[in-house]
Chain A
Amino acid sequence: MKLTINHISKSFNEASEERFILKDIHFELNSGQTMAIVGRSGSGKTTLLNILAGLDNASKGTILFDEVDVTQFKEKDWLNFRKNNLGIVFQQFHLINYLTAYENVSMPMMIKWESIDDSSVKNLLTEVQLDHRMDHYPGMLSGGEQQRVAIARAFANKPKLILADEPTGNLDTETGDKIIKLLFDSALNNGTSMLIVTHDEKLAFRADRVLKIEHGLCHFLK
């Protein structure tokens, strides 16, 4: 997998003035690599992630994913792209309340392959140490456990790239550390590239590379 971000910028018009959230973001991410994106609140980290996930449009620039320019994608193309290539971990977990942990994890498989690989689901849940809770609903799980299920789900469709937006934002420090370790371990085990957005610079330096966004511009810290 190769991800190339070419001079991406995002702006909007406010009182006939152009305001930039992102200006000229560029970097590359290769297969198996992990990158942390850091910056203060409002720096544009989540906006960048949304653009990468197809949830927002860039004002300028291109994104090449395995030489394919995804910025030209229509909605239908993005759906297919996400299904086949991306896994997303959110700050608020976003599990489906009426599905068990097992079912939440198996859902991306159902969407991609229209079948469930039972052993894969169980392995994923074992990896996040929740094999004994697979029949439990999100309401019965703690925040940390829910985030672990969300991580397992993100890997279910064997994505090439994981996007994680403040995955420990809603968790206490100790739990957060465990989650981050889990995330990095899973990425390593599955050979998946990972882009993780965080405001915690200490956590960020666990990644192979660290990109800082400041005033819409980026520079590498690592």
Chain B
Amino acid sequence: MSFFKISINHFKSSHFFNFFYVISLVIGLFSLVLVQSFRNAIEDNINKKSQSFIASDVALSARRILIDEDIKKWLELTKDQALEHSIKIETYSVASSEDHSRTSLVNVFFVDEKFPFYGGVSNDAQVWQTGFGRDLDSEARVIISRETAIKLSIKEGMKLQLGGRLFEVHGIFDKDDFSSFRGFSLAPKIFVAKRYMQDTGLVQLGSTLTHSILFKAKDSKKLETQLKDLIKDKTVKIVTKENSNQALTRSLSLIADYLNLISLLTYVITCIGIFYFIQHISFIRMKEIALYKVFGLNQFQLMLSMLSHIVILTMIAIGIDIAFFEFFKVEINQQVFELTGEKLNLSLYLNDYFLLLGFVFLSIGVFIFPTYISLVRVKEKQLFDESFKNVFKIKFMNIFTYVVLFYALSFILTYSFKVSAVFVLLICFVPILVFVGLKLLESLKLKMSNFYFFIVFKSITRNKKQSLTILTALVIALSFFNLIYGLNQSLKNEFDLAQSGNRPSLFMFDIQEDQINTLKSFVEKINVENFFSAPIIRGKLLKINGVDHSLVKRNQNVQLTREEEFERATQSRMINLTYRDHLLPFEKVISGKFSQRACIDPNQICEISLEEQYAKRMNLNINDEVIFDIAGMQVKTKVTSIRKVKWTSFMPNFFIVVEKGFLVDAPKVFLASLHTKKNLSESISMINDQFKTISIINVSEMTQKISKLLSSLSSAVSAMALLALISTSVMILSVFVSHLQSKIQDFSLLSLLGVSHKSLKSLLLLEFFLLILLGIAVGTSTGEVLLAIILKNVFMIEVFHLSQGYLFFVFTFSFFLMLVLFIYTLVRFTFKSKI
């Protein structure tokens, strides 16, 4: 009999095993398949549009006005590679209808006549492509997005006010090649000819803007290299197709990473169940394996026969997953469109299939191989001894291997050391907690006179593998589900309009120094409350503790981890500083002392206060010395305090607060916030009428947008968390059925001793009910603890409570699970004593 024939015989006779193995793997893998296809879709979308994102081959970009001399120098030195160049300046402002009755925050693109080199905007009837800047140049006209047109209630040919100038609406576009995932953008776009920029008065010293030089290149790579060698100032970014839309790509990749982690979680639960199951089945098959060995089958043939069974089942499970995916692709694409506002085409490529196969075989193999190898090596005589269970003992090296494997898998999926480490630690913490709990219970030596509870208690505490498997999976799945649910509820509450009593109504920026006092007087006249303003001074970080931080080695070909990516992005930016001598209502000093004195002499060392996360990222601590360049002047500072800031307060919060003093004379613009009970649109119109160059954000609208985004994301994450719960349920059912099989002997004995069949069914169900209830209690508690930690430390939200929705869900979930177990017991639990 060949090994394959044996394998086929096993396959044909192991209906239960085949069914549960395949179902578990299908559920465990499905979310991985979905997330991978989502990642592919994002990458495809961005790659397709990457050239049009920057509207050029290569671009230079800075968050300040680039000096003409520098521009001339760069153009001169790259003229062999740069065929043409175009200038674009991007900023924000409030546009209003001609009668000023309606306003909208807009993202203004001041473009020259050569813009763009690639891409364009369009609607069903019209397309504005290469060089459409020319159309805007001849007259004072704009091309606006549909969203702006709706907000301002204007059509083509009508006029709108932008800054100090009226413009005619030349066109309205629906499709925009210069960005993706418009749901994520702060404001809709408006294109204006650069020659009218001065007329609008929107671009002034200190304004929030991005100045870009776009190149059409002979050879993009050569031009990029030339620019890298030429430009050492790290505040000037070199943007290429590959790194265009980095912030968005980063954000979306981060989302995909976390979705991957959730799917990995589901997969971990699946693997726990499969591992238990394999061990159980192997134990049952011990005698059979011993017989084959007695008949002459060697170890290698035995291994192949057992492994080929697993391989066949695994291929079936992957096939089913892929078939499901292809079958439901259209519906999934529609859901993604509703979530992101972008038409994506979720797809899997050939290398994804191979990756999936490799991933599954590696992770399953790490579990199964040691068990099977131990089994085939054991002597036949020992295999006939049913009490010989040593082959199924889990050794430390096995556990260590699994932990390392999952760390590696989570790193591959998230590309972050920290996140992978936290994830694996949390996963490992749960079984340890459960194991210690079971040991403690076992050691209690409780005297129980009730027979049922006595047997059930003993079975739970002594059959550790079974209890550990069920409890670990339940606790992981439920803690995670509770965490997601709780986060969603808490963040939703935080952004809820009804609770916005303390939150500003309007947030303003690009307020010039000569406007601030007038603005303050004006808003007082129109009865607003809690007007608060803060100066912004732009600076560059030069040195930290004597180490130069102004220049960076541009080596963008190296694949960075998420932490390195974020760090690089943070360090490349211009810094916004402010000065004050008091803390804001939502700020809290967690280390050091916040300075309330004044730093009058620019030659002395001024004290600064840093925001907690910023300090961590920059690796700055109390007493560290930092040198800034502020308006060409080197300013020496020392870190004397670290603060916790609540970003969701929508107050003008800053990473760096300097002592009040000589900076009062530095060039600056202002941020401001205010609260009003009046109609917000009216208030914006009134302010905009008087101060046409000030950008105004409607905080309620913004929070609604964020809330909607969070809701969409949360739906996606919740759906995946639900898959984790389903995986847990399937696993519990398979453990229950295995448990039933292994209990036959014990139950037969109990029956002989006088316990009725009804009582035996009750014993079986009671054991599992208690395990499920225990799992729910521990899972909910750990979820609440995690939720409290995250809310307090990340979002600075103190108030939270056990969500009623979560409790209802858990009750329903456990009810249905127990019902399934109960029905299964009623239908299948019929046995004759088999002693």
Q: Which residues of A contact B (CB under 8 A)?
A: 53, 55, 75-76, 79-80, 82-84, 88, 90, 94, 96-99, 103, 107-108, 110-112, 114-116, 137, 139, 157
| Least distance between A195 CB and chain B CB atoms (Å) | 15
**Dominant secondary structure at the B interface:** helix
Residues in A whose Cβ lies below 8 Å from that of B451:
110-111, 114
Is B751 an interface residue, CB under 8 A from the partner? Answer: yes
Distance from A63 Cβ to chain B, minimum over Cβ atoms (Å): 17
Q: Assess whether B458 is in contact with A139, with CB atoms less than 8 Å apart.
A: no
Given A55-B833, A90-B835, are A111 and B753 also a contact pair (CB < 8 Å)? yes
- Measured between beta carbons, the chain B residues less than 8 angstroms from A112 are 754
B749 at the interface (CB under 8 A from A): yes
Q: Is B459 an interface residue (CB 8 A)?
A: yes
- Which residue of B387, B746, B751, B756 is within 8 Å of A96 (Cβ)? B746
Q: State whether A94 and B458 are in contact (beta carbons under 8 Å apart), knowing that A79-B754, A79-B756, A114-B451 are contacts in the complex.
A: no
Docked pose: A180 CA to B750 CA in angstroms: 24
Known: A79-B751, A99-B458. 10 other contacts (CB 8 A): A55-B752, A79-B755, A82-B753, A82-B754, A88-B752, A94-B835, A98-B463, A110-B451, A114-B449, A114-B450
- Per the bound structure, the CA–CA distance linking A46 and B754 in Å amounts to 20
Return chain A residues, CB-CB under 8 Å to B812: none
6 A-B residue contacts at CB 8 Å? Answer: A76-B756, A82-B752, A83-B753, A97-B462, A103-B458, A111-B750
The 3 closest A-B pairs by CB, nearest first: A83-B754, A98-B462, A110-B451
Contacts of A139 in B (CB 8 A): 387
Task: Judge whether B745 is part of the interface by a CB distance below 8 angstroms.
Answer: yes
B809 within 8 A of A: no
Whether B454 is near chain A, meaning CB under 8 Å from some CB there, is yes
Interface residues of B (CB under 8 A from A): 387, 449-451, 454, 458-459, 462-463, 745-746, 749-757, 833, 835
Chain B residues contacting A99 (CB-CB under 8 Å) are 458, 462
| Min CB gap B806→A, angstroms | 34
Cβ–Cβ contact A94 & B754, under 8 A: no
Q: How far is the CA of A106 from the CA of B754 in the complex (A)?
A: 14
Residues of B within 8 A of A53 (CB): 752
| Interchain CB contact under 8 A, B754 and A80 | yes
* A117 to B616 CA separation, bound complex (whole angstroms): 65
The complex places the Cα of A137 from the Cα of B754 at a distance, in Å, of: 23
Kindly list chain B residues whose C-beta atoms are within 8 Å of the C-beta of A97.
Answer: 462
B745: nearest chain-A partner, CB-CB: A94
A96 to B743, CA, bound (A): 10
Most buried by A among B387, B458, B752, B757: B752
- A221 → chain B, closest Cβ, in Å? 28
Smallest CB-CB separation from B834: which chain A residue?
A55
Q: Name the contact of A111 in the complex, choosing from B462, B746, B755, B833 (C-beta under 8 A).
A: B755
Q: How far is the CB of B752 from chain A (nearest CB, A)?
A: 6
* Closest B residue to A83 using CB positions: B754
A76 to chain B, nearest CB (A): 7
Check if A98 sits within 8 Å of B754, measured CB to CB. Answer: no
The answer to whether B753 and A107 have CB atoms under 8 Å apart is yes
A103 to B457, CA, bound (A): 12
CB-based contact B449/A116 at 8 Å: yes
Residues of chain A within 8 A (CB-CB) of B750 are 107, 111
B380 CB → nearest A CB, Å:
19
Partner of A110, one of B387, B454, B459, B752: B454
Closest to A112 in B: B754
Please tell me if the beta carbons of B751 and A98 are within 8 angstroms of each other in the complex.
no
